[in-house]
Amino acid sequence: MITASMLYNFIRCPHRVAMDLFENPALKDPVNPFVQLLWERGNCFEEEVITGLDVPYTDLHLYYGEEKKRRTMDAIARGDELIYGGRITAGDLAGEPDILRKQGSAGYVAGDIKSGAGEEGGSEENDGKPKKHYAAQLALYKDILERSGFAAGRTPFIWDVHGREVTYDLDAPQGPRNPRSLWNEYETALETVRLLVSRTELTLPAYGSECKLCHWYTACRRRLKESDDLTLIPELGRTRRNTMMSYFPTIGDLAHADLESFIRGNKTDFRGVGPDMLRKFHKRAELQKQPGARPYLKDKLHLPEADRELFFDIETDPMRDICYLHGFVERSNGDNRTERYIAFLASEPSEGEEERQFAGAWDYIKSSRPCVIYYYSAYERTVWRMLRKKYPRVMSADEVEDLFDPGRSVDLYHHVIRPKTEWPTHDFSIKTLASYLGFSWRDSNPSGAASIEWYHRWTESGDPDIRQRILDYNEDDCTAMRVLLEGVRKLRVKDG
Ligand code: SF4
């Protein structure tokens, strides 16, 4: 049977579906503690929402398989208003929506309870858009209800962590430049999942941001390395790999290719890959294959100057939709001995604390001026813009724009690493690059996901050791940026 979780995984990574179905389970990594926390939070939140309902409901969540399905059908036949934890099937499709809600006399709409925001956030271009992995699950429920003759309307819903009901319009175009609807996406995904299940279509692993939390990480990474897969080139990705791999099956093949024979004017033989992009990937492939390769500058570097530098990093919890930590490593006159760490950590995951720490961090920045602020990727700026909207009395819109003006603040990833440098590494994450330069984190398991898990445990237990672990990790992230900046300043410009 094709289930909602298969579609959810497929949207994240098609290979995950094939691995879950056909790979030896003994090769799985242990469940990541953050993923475990997501499950636990999801279950707790679902229970909170359900027990807080002030309307009667039919509770089927403790039943399994055929029994669950039979009871769901009975509840639908009786016309029960709200069914919690049911099971519906049609043909090769099976869904277990958290909620089935009667809508007039027409039938049922399905919904899920999610312990996160019901829509995308955290990046300016995606803010407020539907989450595609949620949409695929909701579309499957709707498909089953329609095939069974129980559907009412085409707008399933999410009950999210903010207590909102977010409806998903499956038929609307996704945007002015993308006429495809979420339903179109679902149909394509379903078709491909069917091909994967029947082994008519085979997939390959692809190195990407999803991998580090996936239980197949070790198995896939070994295979990627053995096959010298193109996705181990930073930013190349699955889609471009699939387009290019019949000509360049390996990084070695790309590194040794006569590139210009694939370029015609302002086009290449590869859809979605322009000449500049192809040359860039070719250089990265060469760098990976060159023994003793060193990173280099592609162009001269001009950075704003100030006696005081602030290396700034935030931590956020997507489950509670809260920014719980603003951390700074402050350095004066380029002297590492002057470094000190300043942190604004929310003592509880509440809006009051979030606002207080945001205001504290802003006061600290103002008191530190003149200074240059370094951060890594647009996330800090995006979150501060969102916090500013949420707490307008803390700072004005002009102040937040001025703060992140490139004359005062440097996004090391977007302003420096991507446009100005090349590295013989598989990605450009701060962990990878600072580690390449010899920096090591004090924690044995440093990651933003782990920090979220520690924050949950600290706010529940009050354990000072866990608090310190959160702060140490954030301080190390800030220091890693300083190490990276120094490393970049030492790089030589390489022509061509
Ligand atoms: S490790 Fe990466 S490529 Fe492999 S299944 Fe997981 S997400 Fe997909």
pLDDT in tens, 104-141: 887 999 999 998 888 887 555 566 788 999 999 999 99
Q: Which atom of ligand 1 is nearest to the CA of 13?
A: 8
Q: Looking at residue 260, which CATH number applies to its domain?
A: 1.10.150
pLDDT of residue 215: 96
The average pLDDT across 388-411 equals: 96
Q: What's the 433 CA to ligand 1 centre distance in angstroms?
A: 22
pLDDT of residue 122: 54
Domain boundary among 176, 197, 218: 197
Residue entry with tokens 């004017």: 265
Q: Which atom of ligand 1 is nearest to the CA of 224?
A: 3
Do 271 and 143 belong to one domain?
Answer: no
In a domain, 340, yes or no: yes
Q: Is residue 339 in contact with ligand 1, taking CB distance under 6 Å?
A: no
Do 468 and 338 belong to one domain?
Answer: yes
pLDDT digits 0-9 by tens, 239-255: 999 999 999 999 999 99
pLDDT of residue 105: 81
pLDDT of residue 123: 54
pLDDT of residue 340: 98
> Residue type for 76, please?
I
Question: What length is written for the chain?
Answer: 496
pLDDT digits 0-9 by tens, 174-186: 888 889 999 999 9
Tell me the CA distances in angstroms from 315 to 80, 144, 449, 453, one per residue in order. 44, 40, 9, 11
Q: What's the 8 CA to ligand 1 centre distance in angstroms?
A: 13
Domain boundary among 197, 219, 252: 197
- Separation CA 313–CA 327 (nearest Å): 5
| Range(s) of the domain holding residue 236 | 227-293
Q: pLDDT exceeding 70 applies to what percent of the chain?
A: 98
Q: What is the mean pLDDT of the chain?
A: 94
- Alpha carbons within 13 A on the beta-carbon side of 373: 27
Q: Which of 19, 207, 232 for mutating ligand 1's site (highest number of atoms within 8 Å of CB)?
A: 19
Do 357 and 233 belong to one domain?
Answer: no
Residue 325 confidence (pLDDT) above 70: yes
pLDDT of residue 21: 97
Q: Which of 35, 217, 241, 427 for mutating ligand 1's site (highest number of atoms within 8 Å of CB)?
A: 217
Query: Does residue 130 or residue 342 have the better pLDDT?
Result: 342
DSSP-assigned beta bridge partners for residue 101: 82, 109
Q: Is residue 23 in contact with ligand 1, taking CB distance under 6 Å?
A: no
Do 257 and 355 belong to one domain?
Answer: no
Do 274 and 313 belong to one domain?
Answer: no
Q: Which atom of ligand 1 is nearest to the CA of 208?
A: 2
pLDDT of residue 93: 98
Domain boundary among 246, 267, 293: 293
**What does the buried/exposed string (b/e) look like for 194-204 if buried means 16 or more CB atoms within 10 Å of the residue's CB?**
eebbeeeeebb
DSSP-assigned beta bridge partners for residue 111: 99, 157
Q: Looking at residue 21, which CATH number applies to its domain?
A: 3.90.320
Torsion of CA 283, 287, 293, 294, to 10 degrees: 50
pLDDT digits 0-9 by tens, 46-66: 999 999 998 999 999 999 999
CB atoms within 10 A of CB 382: 18
Do 274 and 312 belong to one domain?
Answer: no
Q: Categorize the per-residue pLDDT at 18 as very low, low, confident or very high, splitting at 50, 70 and 90.
A: very high
In a domain, 302, yes or no: no
The 3-state DSSP class for residue 242 equals helix
Residue 33 confidence (pLDDT) above 90: no
Residue 365 confidence (pLDDT) above 60: yes
pLDDT of residue 37: 86
